[in-house]
Structure 1
Amino acid sequence: MGRGVKLALTLIISATAFCARINAQAQDNLVLFWNLENFFDWTDGGNGDSDTEFTPGGKRHWTARKFYSKCNAVAKSVLWISDEYGKLPDVIGLAEIENRGVLSKLINSTSLRKTGYKIVHYDSADHRGIDVALLWNTGTMDLISSKPCHIDGLETRDILLVNLFDRRAQKERAFIVVHLPSKFGGGKTAWKREKAAARLKAVADSVNAAGCSDITVMGDFNDTPDAEAFTQLKEVLVNVSEPLSAQGLGTIRFEGKWDLIDMFWVTPEMARNVSMEIVRVPFLTVRDNVHSGIKPLRTYSGPRYLGGVSDHCPILLKY
């Protein structure tokens, strides 16, 4: 066999293997979650100190230019993930969103404008004026219903429940997006996460009782998978994040240590066929010059503008 023929066959085999890998990936459902850390617009909506802080006259000197730079970085990241995994995410859960207008600008004023994402968002009673939200891909999903689920007695983010019809699988899927109360204040805040987790369990129970056994919970849980606050939740859902946390991997880095506080939970039936990844977006990852290693590129470090997106890495669920 001549050298040219061998080379041609090698190229054909390599191309075939590459296409097979892309096609296999494209068959996966992809669910992305990302805490976008203070994703505010640049106007004062009267939502309190955090809102005022992110204005041109506020201490962050937050402007339209900086806002749209962040929008473009988020959009570029979603498209990078699409290139890496062979398709756009079917569902994107988001945290620390100021309002629906922020999301509208994200999907209509960036490279995402032709992707067909639609918004599910409700204003919550959070004292900082930030909410969770969900974007769903109209190319693969249809919206059935959505609602915010309040957590009585807490001025925090609502739990967002969205039911979608997966056209490829021809089945209903429930997606729940959460952002549990933070650890700010130390151990005195643990009860808040316990209460929020109990409410989350009740929401998942109600979805299951209504006949939908395909439940994906995603969010920033503001604690690690081994926290006692999640003990009752483990009675009904499986924490897909635990194996990664056990390996020392994480989504947020503090004083040189990774912690995995952004998680996916699924029903036991789903757990056998899902996998989770922590996404390191290369252009949003920088060296940690203090503790060595790498860390996410934030929008701000203290008062200093860095031009990144978040102190959290996005996470991806495949099934």
Structure 2
Amino acid sequence: MELLSFYNVENLFLPDPKPRHKLDPTISGLRSWDERKYKNKLQKIAHVFQLIKEQNGMLPFIVGLSEVSGKKVLEDLVQLQPFNSEYGIVHYNSMDDRKVDVAMLYDKKKVEIIDSEAIAFFFENENKNTEYKTTRDVLYAVVKYEEMVINVFIAHLPSKRDKDINKPKRIFILNEIQKRMLDLTQAEEHVILCGDFNENPDDENLVKILYGNAQGKAFENPFQQLFSTGNYSTFHYKSGLLFDQIILSESFFKKDNMLSFQGAEIFRHEKISSRDKKSGGRPLRTYSGTRYLGGYSDHFPVFVTLGKMQNKCENINLSRE
């Protein structure tokens, strides 16, 4: 069995340098983001994965992350337990306005990186102050797990703020990624797309991406069922949302695949959940507005469980009577 996870870790920034003036803007945009709060944040994120390990008996062999700012925060994170410097990093700096990126961690004992790239997107700037406007890159990595090659896409799509002005951008990005994914599946490649899509599994864009032009359904989204039964990874006021999802190519649903889908889960452990009367059961976040809570993230992590096909030779009894 193997786990593959995705986690929006909510503004994992290095400590802000001391401003030269009270009005100087900070890099993080967070109030009083200092060394103590940064180290607490790292320990909190590492603790989430320790809890996943305790519950499942293992760590995910691949971890998709979003809202990380720069490679240094990832280097600091993988030094901590339970990673213990045994996880590698795939990361590219994007041109996002908030300076947050997506990234991938991987178990170096199980996974080999064959190739990787940042897929960047540029849009016309509505304010016409600059020639273009950027958003977070989509990370693409080709990995090898034993003899199996897997194409992994990790995304954090533009948000729904300002009356969802970013919806056309999300549509464009998903269409472009779908083209790549379909090309790969038509070549009988294995594909996984995970991320914070800023849309729920039943939204039109995320339903559409599951289908090829003429080949019918090409991908499965196991988080559709979770959402339909009232399971959420994050919240906006009173609304429960499942923006964090993992989509897999149909090949992962075949029994003869080396890794085959077994289940999907939103990791809502009580230790990473708020106990406040108003927000009980929701993620215990780092900040609520400008108020520091010292929690983990405003999202719960999600993961899929993949069953591993045993080598036929392992089942042969070679002992002699």
> Is the structural similarity TM-score above 0.5?
yes
CA separation in 1, counterparts of 2:96 and 2:236?
24
Tell me which residue corresponds to 2:231: 249
1:212 shift after superposition: 5.5
Q: Counterparts of 2:75 and 2:48 in 1: how far apart (Å)?
A: 17
**Aligned CA distance change for structure 1 residues 140 and 208 (closer, same or farther; 3 Å):** same
Alpha-carbon distance in structure 2 between the residues aligned to 1:45 and 1:152: 33
1:162 aligns with 2:137: no
Alpha-carbon deviation of 1:192?
1.4
Match of 2:65, as an amino acid? L
Q: TM-score, normalised by structure 2?
A: 0.82
Asked whether 1:61 is paired with 2:61, we answer no
The residue identity in structure 2 corresponding to 1:302 is: G
**Other-structure match for 1:124:** 94
| Cα distance between partner residues in 1 of 2:67 and 2:78 | 16
Distance in 1 between residues matched to 2:252 and 2:81, nearest whole Å: 33
1:19-61 Cα shifts (integer Å, max 9, x gaps): xxxxxxxxx1210110011111113599xxxx94456xx7610
Q: Secondary structure at the match of 1:119?
A: strand
Q: Mean alpha-carbon deviation: is it higher for 98-107 or for 256-265?
A: 256-265
Residues 1:184 and 2:154 aligned together: no
Do the aligned residues in 2 keep the contact of 1:106 with 1:112 (CA within 8 Å)? no
SS in 1 for 2:122: coil
Q: How many residues align?
A: 281
Greater mean deviation of Cα atoms: 118-127 or 270-279: 270-279
Counterpart of 2:118 in structure 1 is: 148
Q: What secondary structure sits across from 1:234 in the alignment? A: coil
Work out the CA distance in 1 between the residues paired with 2:73 and 2:183: 31
Q: Distance in 2 between matches of 1:278 and 1:128?
A: 27
Offset, 1:304: 1.0
- Which of 266, 275, 289 is 2:248 aligned to? 266
- Is the contact between residue 197 and residue 243 of structure 2 (CA under 8 Å) also seen in structure 1? yes
Q: How far did 1:270 drift? A: 1.4
Matching residue of 1:7:
none
Q: Supply the distance in 2 between the matched residues of 1:221 and 1:111 (Cα, whole angstroms).
A: 29
Note closer, same or farther for the CA distance 1:128–1:116 as it changes in structure 2 (3 Å cut).
Answer: same
Q: CA 1:283/1:82 → structure 2, altered by over 3 Å: closer, same or farther?
A: same
Q: CA deviation at 1:255?
A: 2.4
**Judging changes above 3 Å, is the alpha-carbon distance between structure 1 residues 115 and 42 closer, same or farther for their aligned structure 2 residues?**
closer
Q: Give the Cα–Cα distance (whole angstroms) in 2 for the partners of residues 119 and 212 of structure 1.
A: 27
In structure 1, the partner of 2:130 is none
Matches within 5 A, 1:32-111: 32-43=5-16, 52-53=25-26, 60-108=31-79, 110-111=80-81
1:73 is displaced (CA, Å) by 1.0
Report the alpha carbon displacement of residue 186 of structure 1 after superposing the two structures with TM.
Answer: 1.6
CA–CA distance in 2 between the matches of 1:268 and 1:250? 24
Distance, in Å, in 2 between the alignment partners of 1:45 and 1:78 is 31
User: CA 1:229/1:288 → structure 2, altered by over 3 Å: closer, same or farther?
Assistant: farther
For the Cα contact (< 8 Å) 1:278–1:316, is it kept in 2?
A: yes
Q: List runs of 5+ in structure 1 lacking aligned partners.
A: 1-27
Give the Å deviation of 1:64. Answer: 1.0
Question: Distance between the aligned counterparts of 1:188 and 1:124, measured in 2?
Answer: 21
Q: 1:208 to 1:216 in 2, by over 3 A?
A: same
Whole-Å separation in 2 of the counterparts to 1:257 and 1:127 = 27
Q: SS at the partner of 2:166?
A: helix
- Pick closer, same or farther for the CA change 1:212–1:128 going to 2, 3 Å: farther
Any unmatched runs of 5+ in structure 2? 124-132, 212-217, 255-259, 307-321
| Partner amino acid, structure 1, of 2:252 | M
Contact 2:219 2:247 (C-alpha < 8 Å) held by counterparts = yes
3-state SS in 2 of match to 1:41: coil
Aligned partner of 1:239 among 198, 221, 237: 221
C-alpha distance after superposition, 1:121-140 (max 9, x if no partner): 00111111110000010121
Partners of 2:180 and 2:74 in 1: CA distance: 25
Aligned residue among 277, 296, 304 for 1:317: 304
Equivalent residues of 1:99, 1:130 under 8 A apart = yes
Distance 2:77 2:221 in 1: 30
1:286 is matched with which residue?
274
CA offsets 1:52-100 (integer angstroms, 9 cap, x no match): 4456xx7610011110111111111112111111111100000001100
* Match of residue 193, structure 2, among 195, 217, 224: 217
Post-superposition CA distance 1:214-270 (Å, at most 9, x none): 111110000111212234312132222100010011100222332111011111221
